């Protein structure tokens, strides 16, 4: 499932391609109930809140998308020929596109989303009321997140995946962030002092900002150091081999203490941790 960094990156790419432009919106899969109210309108902006994408359009409802496990929203230049300000021929369609956004320069194809709907202002408000603070939003309420974590007797690993507590963190970030913080995913949120929770929140912001800018999850400090020159100069970060500390490394030695990495189901997701350097505090 796309984690929050990927949706923020998508919102930025969508804005770069379509913000301020009148778009043609179609639905090759027959969802005209969604495409027609958006067709021929000017896109104001796209924004991410956790794993949710919101596209705001002039004089139309807000488009709400959640990609889920299999969804994809590709945004790209199409380089089709233009005559008198119009495309001579549209880019070919596979017929699988749930929605297609098109201008004379860019194409945006949404396929296989878990959620694709139009919301009025009240619907948007109800959606956002269900979500916790998003570490990548400049208006996030860090105090609310830390308060929710510290007051709960639930396991911190479960809390981080609860989108009503923290919006945007997924299974990979959960595993890597807790290993970096030396916190067991089984430790109750209330067992962690404020300093540790504040440090965890700061690291969450840092790693997810890097992931949003790079386009993929980077949690290894060596790879972060290698990525910095690319990020500082606005260049695309190469997709090196993923060097995760614990995620999907069950049975292999921890790079920090040598203990075998363990995994187990926590709720509906599998969690990974090192029992040697992530002791359970209860």
Q: pLDDT at position 234, please?
A: 87
Q: What is the CATH number of the domain that holds 200?
A: 1.10.8.50
SS3 at position 13: helix
For residue range 231-240, what is the model confidence (pLDDT) as tens digits? Answer: 999 888 988 8
Domain count for the chain: 2
For residue range 146-192, what is the model confidence (pLDDT) as tens digits? Answer: 999 999 999 999 999 999 999 999 999 999 999 999 999 999 999 99
Length of the chain: 282
Q: Measured between alpha carbons, how far is 162 from 199 in angstroms, rounded to an integer?
A: 19
Question: Which tokens in the block code for residue 24?
Answer: 């043609």
Provide CB contacts within 8 A for 225, sequence distance 6+: none
Give the domain-ending residue among 77, 96, 129: 129
Give the domain-ending residue among 129, 151, 176: 129
3-class SS letters over 157-180: HHHHHCCCCCCCCCHHHHHHHHHH
Residue 119 shares a structural domain with residue 146 = no
Residue 147 shares a structural domain with residue 263 = yes
Q: pLDDT at position 85, please?
A: 64
Residue 82 burial (C-beta neighbours within 10 Å; 0-12, 13-18, 19+): exposed
Containing structural domain, residue 96:
4-129
Q: Which helix (H) or strand (E) holds 107?
A: strand 106-111
Residue 122 shares a structural domain with residue 152 = no
Residue 122 shares a structural domain with residue 38 = yes
Check if the beta carbon of residue 1 is closer than 8 Å to that of residue 67: yes
Q: Measured between alpha carbons, how far is 165 from 188 in angstroms, rounded to an integer?
A: 14
Of the candidates 269, 271, 272, 220, the residue with the CA atom closest to the CA atom of residue 261 = 272
Provide CB contacts within 8 A for 129, sequence distance 6+: none
Residue 112 shares a structural domain with residue 151 = no
SS3 at position 182: coil
Q: How far is CA 132 from CA 128, 145, 188, in A?
A: 8, 7, 18
For residue range 92-104, what is the model confidence (pLDDT) as tens digits? Answer: 788 889 999 999 8
- Report yes or no on 147 lying in a domain: yes
Q: pLDDT per position in the chain (282 positions), as tens?
A: 789 999 999 999 999 999 999 999 999 888 999 999 999 999 999 999 999 999 999 999 999 999 999 999 999 988 775 665 667 677 878 888 999 999 988 999 999 999 999 999 999 999 999 999 999 999 999 999 999 999 999 999 999 999 999 999 999 999 999 999 999 999 999 999 999 999 999 999 999 999 999 999 999 999 999 999 999 998 889 888 889 999 999 999 999 999 999 999 999 999 999 999 999 886
- Report yes or no on 259 lying in a domain: yes
Check if the beta carbon of residue 177 is closer than 8 Å to that of residue 200: yes
Check if the beta carbon of residue 115 is closer than 8 Å to that of residue 68: yes
Q: pLDDT at position 81, please?
A: 59
Check if the beta carbon of residue 135 is closer than 8 Å to that of residue 48: no
Residue 194 shares a structural domain with residue 107 = no
Residue 104 shares a structural domain with residue 213 = no
- Report yes or no on 251 lying in a domain: yes
Q: Measured between alpha carbons, how far is 15 from 250 in angstroms, rounded to an integer?
A: 39
Alpha helices in 54-193 (DSSP H): 121-129, 142-150, 156-161, 171-181
């Amino acid at each position: 499932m796309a984690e929050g960094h990927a949706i923020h990156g998508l919102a930025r790419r969508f804005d770069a391609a379509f913000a301020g432009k009148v778009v043609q919106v179609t639905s090759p899969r027959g969802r005209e109930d969604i495409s027609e109210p958006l067709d021929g309108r000017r896109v104001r902006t796209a924004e991410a809140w956790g794993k949710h994408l919101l596209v705001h359009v002039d004089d139309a409802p807000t488009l709400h998308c959640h990609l889920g496990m299999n969804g994809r929203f590709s945004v790209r230049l199409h380089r089709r020929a233009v005559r008198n300000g119009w495309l001579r021929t549209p880019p070919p369609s596979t017929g699988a596109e749930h929605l297609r956004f098109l201008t004379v320069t860019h194409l945006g194809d949404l396929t296989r989303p878990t959620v694709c709907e139009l919301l009025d202002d009240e619907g948007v408000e109800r959606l956002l009321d269900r979500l916790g603070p998003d570490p990548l939003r400049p208006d996030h309420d860090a105090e609310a997140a830390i308060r929710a974590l510290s007051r709960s007797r639930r396991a911190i690993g479960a809390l981080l995946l609860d989108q009503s507590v923290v919006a945007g963190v997924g299974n990979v970030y959960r595993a890597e962030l807790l290993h970096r913080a030396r916190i067991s995913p089984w430790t109750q949120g209330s067992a962690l002092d404020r300093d540790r929770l504040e440090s965890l929140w700061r690291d969450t912001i840092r790693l997810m900002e890097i992931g949003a800018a790079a386009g993929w999850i980077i949690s290894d400090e060596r790879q972060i150091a290698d990525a910095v020159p690319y990020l500082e100069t606005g260049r695309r970060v190469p997709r090196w081999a993923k060097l995760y500390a614990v995620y999907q490394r069950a049975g292999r030695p921890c790079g920090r203490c040598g203990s075998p990495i363990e995994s187990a189901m926590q709720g509906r997701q599998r969690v990974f941790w090192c029992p040697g350097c992530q002791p359970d505090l209860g």
